[in-house]
Homo-oligomer: A and B are copies of this chain.
Amino acid sequence: MARKRRTTGNPTIMDVARAAGVSAITVSRALRTPERVSTDARARVNAAIRNLGYTPDPAAQALASQRSDIIGVLVPSVTNSVFLDTMRGVYEVAETSDFRVQIANTRYSQAEEERLVRLFLHQRPAALIVTGIDQSATTAKLLRAAPCPIVQITEMGPAPFDMMVGFSHSEAARAAARHLVDAGYRRIGFLGARRDARSTRRLSGFRAGLEADGLFNAARVLFAEQPSSVPLGAAQFTELLSRDPQADAVLCNNDDLALGVLFECQRRGIEVPQAFGICGFNDIAAMAVAHPSITSVRTPRREIGRQAMTMILARLADEDPGPMVRDLGFTLIQRDSTRRRPT
């Protein structure tokens, strides 16, 4: 009678155990808690692992230990380059570990986010990274009770589920608005792509910044349905001018839009910064090289990803993760596009 084995042929922990003359559990311990295994046994196990080319099966590990090596990352969009920069930071650090990053796309939907959180939690992830602070009540409850580290990224908020790293979007936009006012602009518009929680908060910062001088005018605020892009910026600028031909500056929620505005100004022969001021948001590399160079709010996107993952790895290694809540701030980078000569 043939046995009914279903194995893949890959070496298992039992193969290693036999080769090392120990039991399976000793191999397991040699791998996970080497200090609890005698030096001698450990050496033999390691040799056997190398000889056989053994790699643990993550599915079996997850099933037996009720804990997977997956770090879930929830982002609202895989299309938006802002989140991509953050993802880079996440990957950079994750690659130094054995954890696997798994991206999931909430598509700006709280319901979808909730579904994905459940899905991840069901797998007992090693940790979870979620974007922002606008989760549904149920999602919040799930995350608060989650048996793993949770990091909220990209924003700051009053009641973190666990850890948090980001910056204040409204403060950043406020600073940009003040800068435009200080530079002498008066009829300042706001261009945004698809509206989400963060762009809404930025708008409120922008508004606050202008209202201090009674300069806010809702007619100069434009949001679009589409995602952010250079062409959208050009189109929105055109729309802004049709709404207020006297508009003299704009805060763009995104650097793409700012580039589009600049190109459209060039096309129309509108002089930047003298006749029109442009301020972007995020400070992508192109801003510094554009002609004229474009003022922008530098945001620590990549660093957010790096620090989120670093905190997680520290926690998972039972080390001190440092501050659990980190406001990484922002920097207004003043450039030629708002450097108006005094009149």
Residues of A within 8 A of B (CB): 6, 8, 10, 55, 57-60, 62-63, 66, 68, 78-79, 81, 84, 87-88, 91, 95, 100-103, 105, 118-119, 122-124, 229-231, 233-234, 256, 259-260, 263-264, 266-267, 285-286, 288-291
Contact = CB atoms under 8 A, between A and B. Distances in A.
A109 B102 CA distance: 22
Contacts of A289: 230-231, 233-234, 259-260, 263-264
A78 to B, nearest CB: 5
Given A79-B88, A105-B91, A230-B285, A122 B291 contact: no
B100 A285 contact: no
Given A102-B100, A289-B234, A63 B66 contact: no
Contacts of A290: 230, 263
Contacts of A78: 87-88, 91
A266 B264 CA distance: 15
Given A59-B63, A234-B289, A8 B266 contact: no
A276 to B, nearest CB: 14
A296 B195 CA distance: 31
A322 B163 CA distance: 47
Contacts of A123: 57-59
Given A55-B119, A260-B289, A105 B95 contact: yes
A233 B288 CA distance: 12
A122 B57 contact: yes
A55 B233 CA distance: 44
A211 to B, nearest CB: 32
B100 A231 contact: no
B122 A55 contact: yes
B10 A122 contact: yes
15 contacts: A8-B124, A57-B123, A59-B59, A59-B60, A59-B68, A60-B63, A84-B84, A91-B103, A95-B105, A103-B103, A231-B288, A231-B289, A259-B286, A263-B289, A266-B266
